Structure 1
């Protein structure tokens, strides 16, 4: 379940990648570097009799610490040198590899926390600047994950889908699909503004809790007044609230499952056909489109792209049996059944005008 998270007012959200926190990776590198230096320091202290100080001839603890750090970070200054075979072999086979590892750790850290960070921020700004006609999925639970999969099955590029979720694990899972991700709270104006919700193609809300989902819808409708918003609501009592909040489409999984169960009582194939309509890989597909100029003036039954079921004229639906469907007008929205990806059924072949 996803609940609203508190954020500082000054916090600015940005697109970012999921994964382990940066401080944890840095801490592990520091521990590894300290361990390697400790091995070199202990070895030099044990072999201190094999070292010679060309300044005062005495090897103290400070001299060992100094010689260890200088040897690991540079090739040395020559003021302290190994003179016995044991000390030289230790420097050759232990200290030299430690020096290489320390430099690799240093360079890797510089890349990850400086160069890579700058690169990622620049790349995310470029992606953010190009966001237009994209789909926003607010909440990456079971419904959000399935919505993303279905969008991809319907031909959407994962890079045109932005997933928002406050949970790091969910963000990482969404990122693995190739989607653009933001680990943040979608109930915030700043979050939806950061993903340019006002220029989105659609906003899909599935936060797992009705109160959070409705709050996201309220925020999204304020940020994006004209963008279609679909929301998953689990309680029938909250469906009216979701519509009042600004949702264009309210989906109740329990109600839909009930429709399929009830339909199965009246025929063994009704539920199968309804699921087929909703699936991009089904034999039939339910689509919605605007009437084309060459269809204006014709009846709904004359369209050749599929089987016309309904038109929307303004906000009013009209079935194919209604008188309004006898003549299509500019601006009408047609809901039709088309052949799916796995082959046509004979009754659904496009009919001639």
Structure 2
């Protein structure tokens, strides 16, 4: 074969290779923009720190993305972004493309779940909700409340009342202690802000006192508009040394013994939380107060009332004297004129 023929064949081969490369490139670009087929509407994968791009591709295929793990890995590799894939918990929805998948992994657009912690819940109830939360890694199930507080860097501080009730978003795979840490910091911020805004005549000595009173106000409030007046009643009682006589505190002190029916003997049985037998605030909060209860505790409505009774419709009747209160009790509780 002549040199001229060899050169011609060489040019043809190069042309064929270029065409093949361009075809392959075009096919690859087409593929990364096509929706991936998945076994479920949502495919979930948790990527741990240190996993290789090849392992990440395999995880997605095993979870339900119906493609070749080798092909997916090649896309990660040839994109030039494979080393930018972030650890985390992710959700891929039907209709997503390989390009969408890689963009999500590189941005770290993790799938988020939420857990809602309600005003008036006890810490025990908080823990139950965290234990049932979707995708939340459980780390405190075997720990006592005191041990949990130690883990949070607050040894010796009672857990009750120390966590702010709110809706918390978290990446699936996060730990329960991480959510609690956020709730703890949120309560610190809310409590400090409330304490800084306290009224001059408030009969409270410390932020902890405000937290305790706020928890009582939270449990006693059936109607939002009554919250400030209820706080005013308790502030008046604290100011003159009158027992708070609040049933929710007695119930809290009974713990597991409470069967849903508060009896006269319960009010007469002394415990640290029995505000009928002991004056002043109970030793700890009795629930988790929200922002409105915190502010009511430090900025109670001015009132001469020392008593209140539930009217049966969520609101309360307030009285300045015992005789007025007894009439209200007869009217609203005993249904007597």
Q: TM-score if structure 2 supplies the norm length?
A: 0.26
